[in-house]
Amino acid sequence: MTAKPDLLTVAKLAPFLMEPLQDAFTVHDRLHENDAAAFARVAPHIRALCGSGESKVSAALLAQLPALEIVSIMGVGYDGVDVAACKASGVVVTHTPDVLNDDVADLALALALNIARRIPQADRHVRAGLWPQGPMPLATKFSGARMGIVGMGRIGQAIAQRARAFGLSVAYTARSAKPDLPYTFHDQVAALAAQSDFLVVITPGGAATRKLIDAPVLEALGPQGYLINVARGSVVDETALIDALQRGTIAGAALDVFENEPHVPEALRALDNVVLVPHIGSATRATRQAMADRAFANLQAHFAGKPLPSPVPECR
């Protein structure tokens, strides 16, 4: 019987991914974080890494893994993986695009509706027994508003479809215009923000998009505008955002992702014109199962010598 390949996990993985991994691999669960001596013994044999969209796979970690062949990420974003260092060592990186588009797009719309209609605030109003003292302040109409989408890829397009069903007009920015799509393109994010009531951010994270949403963009969004971030915390200058929310430069923000997750600044938590959720974009049972199946399928295909279902673009 051939020995199972050694695999290191670089995130706490759900049982529905761990179980198939343990059947097919000798799994070392986050050994690099938990036991340096034991990790040093197995590191030369590790042929696969498996992690989540938030996992960090640095050049320093890769340098300790001379037998590594594949990094399988259960998530579409892989900004924590040093893909250039992987490629330089002949390591392929895979991810799980498409299967989470619906969930992330659903959440983006839910966040936009929640911040516009002040649903969490209304829930708190009722729970606090304040209703008998009078009605809530009036909220912002969502249907028919203008949505600006920063990033018109797989998920951005799913968000746009939903927005259109609500009668919103849609404009967007991306690295390149998409002439086949029926939406207005702006090559500058500030110009898009100036034309938007709801600015929804859904680009990848990483160096290219770091603080893309900065003070001038928030200024352009203006006092009637709302920011929705379902991309990565790194894409928004969180200090500038807090300042804009405190000063009323923008009307509000609804955020799934944060600069220093899972830590959310007290200044943000203290505000009433925000809706804050803990990175739940893809967090439904059906979608997490589909992501786990794809992450496992990438590993299986690699070790069977078959074409990979979903390598990242840089590794195609």
Q: Which is closer to ligand NAP, CB of 31 or CB of 291?
A: 291
Considering 32, 95, 162, 232, which one is annotated as catalytic? 232
Q: What is the smallest separation between the CB atom of 189 and ligand NAP, expressed in angstroms? A: 7
Considering 30, 45, 125, 279, which one is annotated as catalytic? 279
Contacting positions for ligand NAP (CB under 6 A) = 76-77, 97, 100, 104, 151-156, 173-176, 202-205, 208-209, 212, 230-232, 256-257, 279, 281-282
Residue 232 annotated as catalytic: yes
Considering 19, 124, 247, 261, which one is annotated as catalytic? 261
Q: What is the smallest separation between the CB atom of 94 and ligand NAP, expressed in angstroms? A: 14
Distance CA 201, CA 231 (A): 6
Q: What is the smallest separation between the CB atom of 159 and ligand NAP, expressed in angstroms? A: 9
Distance CA 62, CA 58 (A): 6
Q: Which residue has the tokens 């649903």?
A: 119
Residue 69 annotated as catalytic: no
Q: Which is closer to ligand NAP, CB of 45 or CB of 279?
A: 279
The CA-atom distances, in angstroms, between 148 and each of 14, 25, 190, 219 are 34, 45, 10, 15
Q: What is the smallest separation between the CB atom of 93 and ligand NAP, expressed in angstroms? A: 13
Distance CA 229, CA 240 (A): 14
Calculate helix-pair angle for 101-117, 154-165, nearest 10 degrees. Answer: 50
Distance CA 17, CA 52 (A): 11
Q: Which is closer to ligand NAP, CB of 25 or CB of 183?
A: 183
Q: Closest residue (Cβ) to ligand NAP?
A: 153
Distance CA 86, CA 59 (A): 8
Q: Which is closer to ligand NAP, CB of 168 or CB of 202?
A: 202
CB 293 within 8 A of CB 300: no
Residues noted as catalytic: 232, 261, 279
